[in-house]
Structure 1
Amino acid sequence: MGSFLIGDAGVVEVAADAAAMLSHGESIVATSLGQAEPIHIATTVGLLLASSLLAGLASEMLRLPKVTAYLIAGLLLGPSVFDVIPHEHHQFLEPLTKLAMALVLFYLGTLFPFDQMRRIRKKAIPLSAGEMFFTALFVTVGIYLLGMSPAQSALLGTLAIATAPATTMFVLRETNAEGPVTSLTGTLVTLNNLVAVVAFELVWLGIELATASDAQSLSVGATLMRLVRSLGGAFSLGLIGGLVMSYACEIMHTRRWLVLLVGMASLLLGLSESWSLPYMLVFLVVGVVVVNSSSGTQKITAQLDSIGGLLTVVFFSVHGSELDLSLLADVGVIGAGYVVLRSVGKVFGIWVVASRTGASPEIRTWLGPALLAQAGVAISLSATATSRNPDIAGHVQTIVLGTVVVFEIFGPLLTRAAVLRSGEMPIANSIHHTFGTPLSALRNVFTRLAGSAGLLNKKTALSERMRVEQVMRRSVEGIAENADFNEVVHFVEHSHDNTFPVVDDDRCVVGLIRFDLLNQAFFDPTSDHLVRAGDLATPPDLLLYPSQPVRAAVDLFRQTSDDCVAVVTDEAPHRLIATVRRSDLTSLLIRDRKAGLGGSESSE
């Protein structure tokens, strides 16, 4: 800011400084003749939201993940195509994008109650360790052989571990996927980013130790202290923030939770930035603390969902507008090598460990591809490294920024394909959409009008056109017929259903266990080792076949209060292959009715 001077010159200088401040905040700058006037930041937000809305509608027709659509919408507005978003606006939108990322990491932390962490030790931790080890190894060695220095190769190997949490989790929630691959994907994403943050600091410490001279020993010691302060401070702040959040939710009415949660998240984010703590680690810890100290974790995440949708759109559209396709040419062969080596490392690492631990073919084949998206965490860590030593990390940051374009465009597609191919996403979610072409939408309006007036016969209901195989979930595990009571209880505790098929050694359904009947056996202390699953099961009177029309499932659910029905093969022996959920069927019929094609389903 210029000094205040007596006379016209002082007035001019002060006025110029004031105008510069206003320009910095609102992009309203003095323009000369022939120079276009910059757009206001509110216009930028409006353009990003409007383009994302149109891209979301287009994704319905093209059957793309909405994440990819939002990224492409931002990409079109960014420097690579139309270049209508001023670069300085990203600085003012950064708090919103970081808040969105923070809430995603908080949600990931809530997936780790202590009892679940004890359960995942035998399955998730070996898979995560193998995937991270091979990814870091392949990238570090491969990039070194392509000509980069050992320090740069080690940094890229560490950054390759990170998986984009916001991108991956948004795709999983959008597809309504559920099953072993989906569950392990969320767990491994959390572990990946947690290890990436810690490993980055350790690798950087190693780089400084390797390059330090005697005169620099003090700076190495300072680096070690910074590491302890950064990680310890993040864990401490997350612990305190999580406890405060849980306690405040206990004493406040739920109507005030949204303000509380957003305020706490903003405060923790601000403190993390002010104290130079890794906010990603802070919010992971907050989520873990909240899920283990609060009785209302689901209500808390539901409250955040009310603003999460808007923040998600802003996050991905802004992130897309920052992508620069020209960087793809700059990274060259090393960038291409990084993409291939990171992808192979994750897929191969999962395949090796899953093969040795006896994991299912779906996990062995599809868990690796579900983890390929990469963005925010890697970008943030590479920027941190560049600020510490541009000579070592400058080229590393360029490679990360260039390859993010590939991982963020194709990563969501692979995640979606993984849960679909593994049978954890109903096929109907990928082929049935609420939005058709503009012509079909107009036709639906007049069809409904004419049908209501009795001038036209209503169209064939969706429940007659679709088959059970298009709405069933293939990721299903039955209870073994000879399982004891404790094994049955363990299965029930980790299921979202209230009806559980019992299968023999050939996976043929021999009975059904219903929760309301099972609940009566909880009070018999002698049943733990004497009672078997087959003793608790009732005859399998309600079953579906893949070739049946969805109408058969609708009629079947009218006869029972079960929330799911087992699906068995059409041919004998009728083996268990999937389940149909009442909630999936109801959602499908509601979407059909909204689209104007399910008039005959009004009773549903």
Structure 2
Amino acid sequence: MDYTLFAQTVLLLQDNRLVVIGLCLISAILLSEWLHRLLSHLPAITGYLLTGLLMGPYVLGVLDGENLTQLSLFSDIAIGILLFELGRHLDWRWLRGEPRLVMLILLESLAVFFAVYLLLWGVGLQPLAAALLAIIAITTSPLILLPVLRESRAEGRVSDWAQVFAAANNMLALVAAVLLVALAHLAQTGGWQQALIGPMRELLGGLALGMLAAWLTCRFLHWLRAHGPHDVLPTLFLFGAVVAVVGAAKALVFSPLLGVLALGFGCRHIKSGEAVLGMQLDPLRSLFVCVLFVQLGASLNPSAWQGVALWTLLFLLVRTLTRVAIPYLLAPFCGLRHAQGGCLGVVLIPMSSLGLLAVHASVTTLPELDTQAAGIAAAALMVMELLGPIATRWALKQVGEIAEEGRQHVKS
């Protein structure tokens, strides 16, 4: 066998980054399908994550830092699509008629925050670091929740409420994180104007950008529908609106996460938004979600556990127990059974890295966030990204909201 030719071929493939990325995506799809056939309870995104972890720089090194940078554009688009769909599920008119659900969301978020904060502060973490990790603990990952719901074709009250919880939890966490960083800057500089203007501009700018884009999108799609049937153009326009909001928010230093959430929320509530409600981005979303989870898997660093394993396990244990206990105990007050409330808490277990990304740039300027806190966050996110999809699907199955196991396997 000509090993020289083989080595030259390997080097050629490594130099051609598009070939490497393409092969990794093909491997992700094949591994996902194989795992689903072997263990039908595993969601497709688990296969994507494992492929990324295996191919990433911390294991085989097929995907290096430059590959991951090239994939970041696709990942940003995937995050935009998923957050847009999450915002579109947040029905304000319905929530006004469900005050007990709103109270449950607030109580659950506050309970998770204070339980995690008191734990980390009690073991010696500095207050700012403990508070930021507690805010991240509030979040529920839409990147895991929505693909699992669609892949499982889950339907029912727990599935519907989980999407509302995820949207509300992430919005609360985003606002709390930005305000916390502002307060930290205020304590350092003593100037409230300098400390508050930047964060408020980021939040209000993202909200205004998303609502303006929603109004323009609804107006155009309403006009388009009134002038004859169209198959592809409305979907492409809606996709373009999501991408444009993400790009514009980054360019203007607004919050892109809040921008696309507001875009989805606005498209649901603006009067002419009926033209948007029935539209789906499924074909486009599937590709970008695959890329996103391959990149997330490649970013997982097993060495993040070094020195923080015990604190990470305590963090995850307290967060999980609190997140499950509150809905379990208060479920009857909202019209659910205790078992449904407990399973709702399990569905909400996947933790979002979006909260960490949202404050990362600001936090790097604050010396109070020590390396131990960053290690706990990275290790906890790694565990949640690998085990979260399995826990979510298991809980949905327990409440009978997943389609029959013999169904055709639908990719996320």
TM-score by length of 1: 0.62
TM alignment of 1:179-218, pairs within 5 A: 179-209=156-186, 211-212=187-188, 216-218=189-191
Q: Does 1:296 align with 2:269?
A: no
Counterpart of 2:137 in structure 1 is 160
Aligned counterpart for 2:79 among listed residues 87, 90, 101: 101
The answer to whether the aligner puts 1:59 opposite 2:24 as a matched pair is no
| CA root-mean-square deviation | 2.2
- Deviation at 1:263? 2.1
Report the 3-state secondary structure (helix = DSSP H, G, I; strand = E; otherwise coil) of the residue aligned with 1:163: coil
Question: Shift of residue 188 of structure 1?
Answer: 0.2
Identity %: 24
Mark the CA change 1:384 to 1:244 in structure 2 (over 3 Å): closer, same or farther: same
Partner of 1:282: 259
Which of 310, 318, 333 aligns to 1:341? It is 318
The equivalent of 1:421 in structure 2 is: 398
Higher strand share: 1
1:404 aligns with 2:381: yes
Offset of residue 185 of structure 1 = 0.5
Deviations 1:478-514 (A, max 9, x none): xxxxxxxxxxxxxxxxxxxxxxxxxxxxxxxxxxxxx
**CA shift at 1:434, angstroms?**
5.3
What letter is aligned with 1:101? I
Structure of higher RCO (CA pairs closer than 8 Å, 6+ residues apart): 2
Q: Does 1:248 align with 2:220?
A: yes
Match of 1:387 among 364, 377, 397: 364
Question: 1:75–1:81: 8 Å Cα contact kept in structure 2?
Answer: yes
Alignment-derived partner of residue 84 in structure 1: 62
Question: For 1:361, which of 328, 331, 338 is the aligned residue?
Answer: 338
The alpha-carbon deviation at position 52 of structure 1 amounts to: 1.2
Corresponding residue of 2:21: 45
Q: How does 1:103-142 map to 2 (within 5 A)?
A: 103-123=81-101, 125-142=102-119
Instruction: Pick the structure with greater CA Rg.
Output: 1
Counterpart contact for 2:351–2:385, Cα < 8 Å: yes
Per-residue deviation, 1:358: 5.3
1:175–1:425 contact (8 Å) kept in structure 2: yes
How far residue 187 of structure 1 moved from its aligned partner, in angstroms, is 0.6
The alignment partner of 1:151 has SS state of helix
Structure-1 separation of matches of 2:290 and 2:377:
23
Structure 1: gaps (5+ residues): 1-32, 436-586, 588-604
Residues 151 and 391 of structure 1: CA distance in aligned 2, closer, same or farther (over 3 Å): closer
- Whole-Å separation in 1 of the counterparts to 2:254 and 2:261: 13
Are positions 1:321 and 2:294 aligned together?
no
Q: Which amino acid aligns with 2:357?
A: S
1:236 CA drift (Å): 0.5
Q: Structure 2 CA distance, aligned partners of 1:254 and 1:365?
A: 42
Contact 2:128 2:368 in 1 (8 A): no
Which amino acid letter does the alignment assign opposite residue 73 of structure 1?
T
CA drift at 1:407: 0.5
Separation in 2 of the partners of 1:88 and 1:386? Answer: 24
Residue segments in structure 2 that go unaligned for 5+ positions in a row: 1-7, 225-229
1:75 aligns with 2:53: yes
Q: Residue in 1 aligned with 2:227?
A: none
Query: Is the Cα–Cα contact under 8 Å of residues 383 and 397 in structure 1 kept in the other structure?
Result: no
- Ranges of 4+ aligned residues in structure 1 off by more than 6 Å: none
TM-score by length of 2: 0.89
Asked if the contact 1:67/1:170 (under 8 Å) is kept, the reply is: yes
Size of the aligned set, in residue pairs, is: 392
- 1:384 and 1:348 map into 2 onto residues whose CA distance is 34
